[in-house]
């Protein structure tokens, strides 16, 4: 609730209206958990990378413009890092090589 409640800028009303909603809180925390697990295990990096980038974009938009730099802040840097994870899916350590070779991923490459 604290992060969204302190929203500023043109979309502040939208993000502040979501602050404290238990469904939004649970979805946010579940998203963080699933993205973190995917990054730790090295599986589903495309989905995790794009989902993490979207989450960072929304977090950046909730506080746009920033007091330090109106365009680039830590959320944009993390967004770019998440894109790098999505682009390198299946070629990193962990279970990524095994995961890329499973029948499920071969049938649905977006899960790589």
- The residue whose two tokens read 């302190």 is 6
Mean pLDDT of 12-24: 86
**Best CA proximity match to 9, nearest among 80, 73, 83:** 73
Query: pTM to 2 decimals?
Result: 0.81
Query: Which tens digits make up the pLDDT trace of 43-68?
Result: 888 899 999 999 999 888 888 777 77
CA distances from 13 to 7, 20, 28, 74, 98 (A): 8, 13, 18, 22, 45
The domain in which residue 88 lies consists of 2-111
- The residue whose two tokens read 């890329």 is 100
Pairwise CA distance, residues 73 & 1, whole Å: 21
Domain total for the chain?
Answer: 1
CA distances from 106 to 14, 28, 56, 98, 109 (A): 40, 29, 29, 11, 6
């Amino acid at each position: 609730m604290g992060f969204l409640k302190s929203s500023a800028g043109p979309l502040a009303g939208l993000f502040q209206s979501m602050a404290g909603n238990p469904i939004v809180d649970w979805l946010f925390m579940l998203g963080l958990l699933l993205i973190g697990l995917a990054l730790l295990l090295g599986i589903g990096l495309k989905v995790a990378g794009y989902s993490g980038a979207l989450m960072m974009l929304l977090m950046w938009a909730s506080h746009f413009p920033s007091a330090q730099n109106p365009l680039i802040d830590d959320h944009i840097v993390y967004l770019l890092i998440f894109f790098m994870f999505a682009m390198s899916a299946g070629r990193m350590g962990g279970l990524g090589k095994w995961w890329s070779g499973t029948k499920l991923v071969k049938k649905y490459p977006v899960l790589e």
